[in-house]
Amino acid sequence: MNQLLIIDDDNDLCDLLKDYLAQEGFVVEAINSGIEGVEPATSGRYVLVVLDVMLPGISGFEVLRRIRAVSRVPVLMLTARGEEVDRIVGLEIGADDYLPKPFNPRELVARIRAVLRRVEEKPQVQVSTSSGRLVADDIELISGNRTVLRSGQNIELTSVEFAILEVLLRSKGQVVNRDELVKQSLGRDLSAYDRSIDVHVSSLRKKLGLRQGESERIKTIRNVGYLYSTDC
């Protein structure tokens, strides 16, 4: 059953979303406090959490940090329209996607389905090697158990970062344009002024670190996209 958790202190909005999402086949529980929302969000009962940034007690960012400390449950953050810094911070902490308020409930449903589709489809992705491994320099991605290693040491990636790395490694040495990278990793089309993919790539770069020789693994091709470099 598609059970969702909404953590938002706006009761009217929660009631509206409960009714709307029920018509779309989701079972929704709403909690109005960030502190009270952490435990259920990490309980494993929900397929996705919709989390507001502005919450009483502790902020949505702190709630997300506590969730990510113990769980990889998909999280879609609700941010104030125009507050780009909120979106960037949320993505850097580990949000899977964001939606600015106010929003059309249809857009929320589309974002939820895109995140869930990505999570559900990834375990069935077939890579180009029989062992289900993609290797570049000291980086090894194992699709079967969704593991990424650097020199044999595990690197903790979010589901989006894992998806981005997989796409780039499959096309290493070749440019992947931003539109295609968004479609394959976020499960949706790139919208105007959407910087989410750039923030995810930046976070992925930091986690992978520089390769031997102090060169970047993932290069930005201005106005085009990204490539996983094969240059040493």
- pLDDT tens digit string along 103-162? 999 999 999 998 888 777 544 333 344 457 899 888 999 887 788 999 889 998 888 888
> What does the alpha-carbon distance between residue 170 and residue 24 come to, in Å, rounded to a whole number?
35
Q: Are 230 and 172 in contact (CB under 8 A)?
A: yes
Burial 61-90 (b: 16+ CB within 10 A, else e): bebbebbbeebbbbbbbbbeeeeeebbbbb
pLDDT confidence band for 164 (50 / 70 / 90): very high
Pairing of strands 3-7, 27-31: parallel
So what's the pLDDT on residue 126? 37
pLDDT digits (tens, 9 = 90+) for 166-221: 999 999 889 999 888 988 888 777 776 677 888 889 889 999 998 876 788 999 99
> What does the alpha-carbon distance between residue 8 and residue 36 come to, in Å, rounded to a whole number?
11
> What does the alpha-carbon distance between residue 164 and residue 143 come to, in Å, rounded to a whole number?
13
Task: Give the count of beta carbons closer than 10 Å to the beta carbon of residue 153.
Answer: 8
Task: Give the count of beta carbons closer than 10 Å to the beta carbon of residue 110.
Answer: 15
So what's the pLDDT on residue 192? 67
Q: Who's near 32: CB < 8 A, 6+ residues apart?
A: 7, 8, 9, 11, 14, 56
* DSSP H stretches of helix in 122-231: 159-170, 178-186, 196-208
Task: Give the count of beta carbons closer than 10 Å to the beta carbon of residue 54.
Answer: 16
pLDDT at 25 over 90: yes
Best-predicted range by mean pLDDT among 46-50, 65-69, 223-227?
A: 46-50
| DSSP structure class, residue 210 | P
Helix, strand, coil % over all residues of the chain, rounded to 5: 40, 20, 35
Per the prediction, the chain carries an average pLDDT of: 86
> What does the alpha-carbon distance between residue 168 and residue 152 come to, in Å, rounded to a whole number?
20
Structural domains for the chain: 3-122 (3.40.50.2300), 125-228 (1.10.10.10)
Tell me the residue type at 165: L
So what's the pLDDT on residue 125? 35
